[in-house]
């Protein structure tokens, strides 16, 4: 007997030959199901809501990668897609069991696959980094809380400088972190849920600094920040200072997204964590004793 969630349209059930489906995420931007098809294979169905249409560039990025470092797109229909099921083990959980160094090795491995050259021409739907950073430029210009205004203005200035001097511009995942790297299939660790951006590859590691979620003590630890800088600079092929500057720029952007979603700087949410990281990283960048 066929069993599937009511939120999965009948036409998709028929097109993708779905026998059963489990709703695993219902967010502001999408509905995500883990499905079993009639041939016994598993997959992930993702339906974008109106608020999530910006994620189409991420699907285009996956299409372009064709499984190199990321899940494969099996089929797509307008704003819905059928994706390879990468598994259920998130790098966030693996890190808890095996430690920071083991998790970082996996990030480097996935990053290398994502940045491998492709003979295929990238889609022109990828979002340029300057457009991606628009929220921090806009909010920094109108924020009236002095301490937050200072942090966002600093982040926006760094972002503007970085974006004006990008090198090796290429397609980027754009949202690489411990919950978007997953394992459990025979293909090992794979990236999911990309933003689908176009820009300097140094940005692709910026979000790692503010993750995993809930690891606040580690996130603001200067020793961890330096370790990540030391790992990512040679992997990307750029200076250590550039890696840290992109992390600071992204922290400001992440604060803006969180505030738009109703988060506050006070409390224990993402905005507070990124605000604290930004201030620690700024001191490190400006501290003469820290050689970058």
pLDDT for 10-42, tens place per residue?
999 999 999 999 999 999 999 999 999 999 999
Cα(192)–Cα(88) distance, integer angstroms: 12
Q: Is the dihedral of CA 210, 216, 222, 227 positive or negative?
A: negative
Q: What is the pLDDT of residue 292?
A: 66
Do 77 and 93 reside in the same domain of the chain? no
Domain containing 29 — which CATH number? Answer: 3.30.200
Tell me the pLDDT tens digit for each residue of 141-167: 998 899 999 999 999 999 999 999 999
Q: Of 83, 117, 139, which residue constitutes the final position of a domain?
A: 83
Q: Of 57, 83, 109, which residue constitutes the final position of a domain?
A: 83
Please return the burial class of 130, using the count of CB atoms within 10 Å of its CB with bins 0-12, 13-18 and 19+: middle
Do 53 and 113 reside in the same domain of the chain? no
Domain count, the chain: 2
Q: What is the pLDDT of residue 289?
A: 58
Q: What is the pLDDT of residue 241?
A: 97
Q: Give the largest Cα separation in the chain, rounded.
A: 68
Q: What is the pLDDT of residue 1?
A: 32
Q: Across-strand partners of 21?
A: 35
Q: What is the pLDDT of residue 227?
A: 97
Do 272 and 132 reside in the same domain of the chain? yes
**Length of the chain, in residues:** 292
Do 175 and 265 reside in the same domain of the chain? yes
Q: Is the pLDDT of residue 237 over 80?
A: yes
Q: What is the pLDDT of residue 236?
A: 98
Q: Has residue 46 been placed in a domain? A: yes
Query: Which of 41, 26, 44 has the alpha carbon at shortest distance from 88?
Result: 44
Q: Has residue 190 been placed in a domain? A: yes
Domain containing 155 — which CATH number? Answer: 3.90.1200.10
Do 74 and 100 reside in the same domain of the chain? no
Q: Is the dihedral of CA 50, 53, 59, 60 positive or negative?
A: positive
Q: Has residue 5 been placed in a domain? A: no
| Cβ atoms 159, 253 nearer than 8 A | yes
Tell me the pLDDT tens digit for each residue of 95-151: 999 999 999 999 999 999 999 999 899 989 999 999 999 999 999 999 889 999 999
Q: What is the pLDDT of residue 4?
A: 59
Query: Which of 191, 221, 184 has the alpha carbon at shortest distance from 205?
Result: 191
Q: Has residue 152 been placed in a domain? A: yes
Do 105 and 203 reside in the same domain of the chain? yes
Q: Of 18, 48, 83, which residue constitutes the final position of a domain?
A: 83
Cα(226)–Cα(213) distance, integer angstroms: 19
Cα(126)–Cα(91) distance, integer angstroms: 26
Q: Has residue 1 been placed in a domain? A: no
Sheet with strand 18-26: strands edge to edge: 18-26, 30-37, 42-48, 80-83, 73-77
pLDDT band at 7 (very low <50, low <70, confident <90, very high): confident
Tell me the average pLDDT across 264-275: 86
Tell me the average pLDDT across 216-230: 97
Cα(284)–Cα(244) distance, integer angstroms: 9
Do 167 and 255 reside in the same domain of the chain? yes
Do 129 and 20 reside in the same domain of the chain? no
Percentage of the chain lying above the pLDDT 70 cut: 96
Tell me the pLDDT tens digit for each residue of 72-85: 999 999 999 999 99
| Residues carrying an active site annotation | 175
Do 118 and 58 reside in the same domain of the chain? no
| Cβ atoms 248, 220 nearer than 8 A | no
Mean pLDDT value across the chain: 94
Q: Has residue 292 been placed in a domain? A: no
Do 102 and 228 reside in the same domain of the chain? yes
Do 104 and 202 reside in the same domain of the chain? yes
Do 28 and 95 reside in the same domain of the chain? no
pTM: 0.94
Q: Is the pLDDT of residue 247 over 80?
A: yes
- Residue 59, SS3? helix
The range of the structural domain enclosing residue 199 comes to 89-286
Cα(126)–Cα(198) distance, integer angstroms: 6
Q: Has residue 2 been placed in a domain? A: no
Q: Has residue 291 been placed in a domain? A: no
């Amino acid at each position: 007997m066929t069993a599937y969630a009511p939120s999965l349209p009948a036409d998709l059930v028929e097109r993708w030959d779905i026998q059963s489906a489990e709703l695993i995420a219902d967010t502001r931007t999408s509905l995500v199901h883990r499905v079993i098809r009639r041939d016994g294979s598993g997959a992930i169905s993702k339906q974008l809501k109106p608020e999530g249409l910006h994620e189409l560039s991420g699907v285009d990025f996956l299409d372009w990668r064709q499984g190199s470092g990321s899940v494969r797109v099996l089929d797509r229909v307008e704003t819905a897609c059928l994706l390879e099921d990468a598994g259920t083990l998130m790098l966030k959980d693996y890190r808890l069991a095996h430690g920071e160094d083991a998790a970082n090795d996996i990030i480097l491995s996935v990053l290398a696959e994502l940045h491998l050259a492709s003979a295929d021409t990238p889609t022109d739907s990828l979002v340029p980094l300057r457009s991606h950073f628009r929220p921090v430029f806009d909010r920094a210009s109108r924020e009236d809380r002095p301490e937050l205004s200072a942090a966002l203005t600093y982040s926006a200035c760094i972002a503007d400088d970085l974006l004006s001097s990008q090198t090796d511009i290429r397609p980027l995942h754009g949202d690489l972190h411990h919950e978007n790297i997953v394992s459990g299939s025979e293909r090992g660790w794979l990236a999911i849920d990309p933003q689908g951006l176009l820009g300097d590859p140094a940005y692709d590691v910026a979000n790692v600094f503010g993750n995993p979620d809930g690891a606040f003590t580690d996130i603001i630890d200067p020793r961890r920040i330096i370790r990540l800088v030391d790992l990512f600079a040679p992997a990307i092929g750029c200076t250590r200072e550039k890696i840290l500057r992109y992390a600071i720029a992204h922290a400001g952007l992440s604060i803006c997204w969180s505030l738009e979603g109703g988060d506050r700087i006070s409390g224990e949410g993402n905005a507070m964590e990124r605000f604290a990281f930004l201030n620690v990283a700024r001191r490190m960048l400006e501290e003469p004793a820290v050689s970058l």
